[in-house]
């Protein structure tokens, strides 16, 4: 399967940044992107621009827990088609598989879902090997993958395992959120039982 070289800009990013206490204009300027990017229709970013946006978020926040706030800020009230499709699923495996189909269209990554008899693992593959994904982005994705079943079930679902390729700053805050220690190495992945 071929992958796109550009990824759509979600207008909801502006609201997520505001909800997290960040000024969207400052983030866009820091990333070298147009001030009105979030208001444009059908705007796209290259992988380098996408990663640059996340580095700008990290720098503008100056807070290693910004990924926790962004990843857990997703709610039913903010309509996002991929999240809506996942939330309309009969179970977590179906939700993750639906989300995986959409993920490759809106970010320079592929989400692999492996369903086994007693557990399900989702792992991120970054499409451009020449670019290192920002740690802030990796952390936000991992948080989002746990936030999704918590939001759907209204219970504190805890994964069996969470892995990040790089150590996360403010590790205790992430460990507390996930309910398990975040392990370093082995890619970006989360396993549910």
Question: Is-contact 74 143, C-beta < 8 A?
Answer: no
DSSP state at residue 66: H
Q: Which of 129, 128, 93 is nearest to 113 (CA)?
A: 93
Average pLDDT of the chain to the nearest whole number: 90
What is the distance between the terminal CA atoms of the chain, rounded to a whole angstrom?
Answer: 29
- CA dist 142 and 171 (Å) reads 13
Question: Is-contact 189 163, C-beta < 8 A?
Answer: yes
Express each pLDDT in 65-88 by its tens digit.
999 999 888 765 555 777 777 778
Express each pLDDT in 47-64 by its tens digit.
999 999 999 999 999 999
Angle at the Cα of 107 from the Cα atoms of 187 and 5, rounded to 5 degrees = 110
Q: Which of 110, 113, 80 is nearest to 94 (CA)?
A: 113
Express each pLDDT in 140-153 by its tens digit.
999 999 998 998 88
Interaxial angle between packed helices 135-153 and 47-61, expressed in degrees from 0 to 180 and rounded to the nearest 10? 80
DSSP state at residue 187: -
Question: Is-contact 46 5, C-beta < 8 A?
Answer: yes
How large is the average pLDDT for residues 174-184? 97
- Which residues lie across from 188 on neighbouring strands? 124
Express each pLDDT in 87-133 by its tens digit.
788 888 888 888 888 887 788 999 999 999 999 999 999 988 888 89
pLDDT at 1: 45
Residue 192 phi, psi dihedral angles, 5° rounding: -115, 150
């Amino acid at each position: 399967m071929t992958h796109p070289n550009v990824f759509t800009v979600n207008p909801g990013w502006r609201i997520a940044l505001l909800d997290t206490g960040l000024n969207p204009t400052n983030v866009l300027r820091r990333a070298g992107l147009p001030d009105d990017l979030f208001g444009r229709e059908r705007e796209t970013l290259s992988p380098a621009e996408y990663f640059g946006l996340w580095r700008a978020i990290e720098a503008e926040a100056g807070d290693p827990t910004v990924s926790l706030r962004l990843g857990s800020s997703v709610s039913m009230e903010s309509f996002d088609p991929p999240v809506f499709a996942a939330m309309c699923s009969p179970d977590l495996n179906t939700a993750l598989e639906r989300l995986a189909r959409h993920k490759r269209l809106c970010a320079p990554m592929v989400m692999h879902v492996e369903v086994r008899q007693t557990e399900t693992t989702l792992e991120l593959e970054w499409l451009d090997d020449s670019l290192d994904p920002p740690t802030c982005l990796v952390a936000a994705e991992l948080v989002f993958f746990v936030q999704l079943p918590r939001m759907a079930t209204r219970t504190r679902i805890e994964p069996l395992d969470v892995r990040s390729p790089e150590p996360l700053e403010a590790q205790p805050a992430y460990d507390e959120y996930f309910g398990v220690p975040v392990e370093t190495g082995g890619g970006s992945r989360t396993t549910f039982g």
